[in-house]
Amino acid sequence: MMATWYFTPNSISFLVQAVLCVSIMAYMAYLTLRFWQRKTTVNSTLLLVGFFFGLTGFAISSFLNVSLNPFLRLYAVSLQMPMLALAVVFLLQFAYYFPSLSPRHRWESRITLGLSLVYMLSESLFGVYRLNLLAHQEVRWRPAVLDAALAACSAWLLIILFRQTIRLSNEHKLRRWYMALLHPCGRMAYAVRNFGLIFTCFMGLSVVEIALGTKWLPKEIRDVTLSLIPLVAIAAFTLTYLNALPETTSFMVRLISVTLVTVLAIIGVVGWLIAPAFLDRLSAEPLAQPPRSLRFSPNAQGGYDIQPVTVAYQADLGTPINVFPEDTYEIGLNFPFLFYGQSYDTLFINYNGTISMGEPLWVQQTLFYYGSVPGILSLLTYFETDPNNDASGVFIRHDPDKLVVTWHQ
């Protein structure tokens, strides 16, 4: 019986991020109400409420993604990017309106708002589409164009912030653009420049992922980094904004903020430090030790009886077939093959270590309760072959009364 929840170090990291975002969102809402009662401009603070609302939704859906079982988590995956897109919409407008909107960029901000809303609508519609597909046990990946749109929004955000820094700095003292960025004049220009640096740190997380893929960094450093950097960056962004407000932030608010972030950071990191010691003690026990395997025999109840049997693996693997990633090989049988009471005379041999009946079986069709296509999921894994080794690949041995398929890596 598969468990519903898996409380892992990764889920703890997203949970503490969600707690921090909820806390900041509540405080920003309180500030907005207080500014409104005093008839003070609340545009930037109100935009931050929307930003942290979207960021909270993203953190919660990310927590559910890594905490629920592999099937139920797909519901949360469908909500992740729409919530992040909502946060991006508010954040782009915040970059324009903090501390005030430049009259020369008024129409530009409206165009940016329209385009970002189109992006958010696209993410939302695709999220609804994915949820609808789950009802039919199908899964779809996000198209690359949506990733490109998110990257474009992130790059444009930095351009807005650094351009705003130059404008605000030049209001105090006219300088070259690079000097205005390095040493901005005025509290507001300094704050906006810091916003740009903080969001640049988020982009640095992609560098960490690349370094992990090239084995430059140990996985433990990557895990701790992904746990700490978002927490510290969110807290730094909030404190920078509060320090830039005309109204002085009390010492108690700053103390509580630093204490909260410190406690959440410790909670987020401790899981990564403790879990590896326990995982090292676990060992995967195979269902049958070689040279024994498992036999599935049809029974009267319409299912299969499973029993261990001794198998003599043959050196002759048969004929190699050309099956490539995202590809399948159709083969006709010399005999009728009964599978759960239904007879098939054609099988599809798939690259991912599966055999399906009636139609090919793609990886995406197996992610939600293993899909609706009948098949034998013997391996269901990413299969790597060695092009320099003739013994590596997919082989079939077709006898008059049986078919043997071998994935030899």
In sequence order, what DSSP letters do the residues of 47-62 get, joined into one string?
Answer: HHHHHHHHHHHHHHHH
- Mean pLDDT, the chain, rounded, equals 82
Q: Which pLDDT score, from 0 to 100, does residue 123 have? A: 94
Which residue would you say has higher pLDDT here, 245 or 128?
Answer: 128
Least confident of 21-35, 71-85, 224-238: 224-238
Q: How far apart are CA 271 and CA 19, in angstroms?
A: 16
Q: Could you report the per-residue pLDDT of 163-212, keeping only the tens digit for each?
A: 999 999 888 888 888 788 888 888 888 889 999 988 887 766 656 655 55
Least confident of 5-14, 142-151, 250-259, 311-320: 250-259
Residue ranges of domains in the chain, CATH in brackets: 9-279 (1.20.1070), 292-408 (no CATH)
∠ CA 363-404-334 to the nearest 5 degrees?
105
Q: Which residue has the tokens 């950071």?
A: 265
Q: How far apart are CA 306 and CA 308, in angstroms?
A: 7
For residue 276, give the amino acid letter.
P
Instruction: Provide Rg for the chain, Cα atoms.
Output: 28
For residue 245, give the amino acid letter.
L
The predicted model scores a pTM of 0.80
Q: Which pLDDT score, from 0 to 100, does residue 204 have? A: 65
Q: Which pLDDT score, from 0 to 100, does residue 83 have? A: 94
Which of 360, 357, 311 has the alpha carbon at shortest distance from 337?
Answer: 357
Kindly state the average pLDDT of the residues 43-51: 91
Q: Which pLDDT score, from 0 to 100, does residue 208 have? A: 60
Q: Which pLDDT score, from 0 to 100, does residue 242 have? A: 84
Q: Please say if the pLDDT value at position 213 is more than 60.
A: no
Q: Which pLDDT score, from 0 to 100, does residue 9 have? A: 81
Q: Could you report the per-residue pLDDT of 100-119, keeping only the tens digit for each?
A: 888 899 999 999 999 999 99
Per the DSSP assignment, residues forming a β-bridge with 407 are: 394
Q: Which pLDDT score, from 0 to 100, does residue 91 have? A: 94
Q: Which pLDDT score, from 0 to 100, does residue 22 have? A: 93
Kindly state the average pLDDT of the residues 355-364: 80
Q: Which pLDDT score, from 0 to 100, does residue 161 have? A: 92
Kindly state the average pLDDT of the residues 248-258: 72
Q: Please say if the pLDDT value at position 277 is more than 80.
A: no
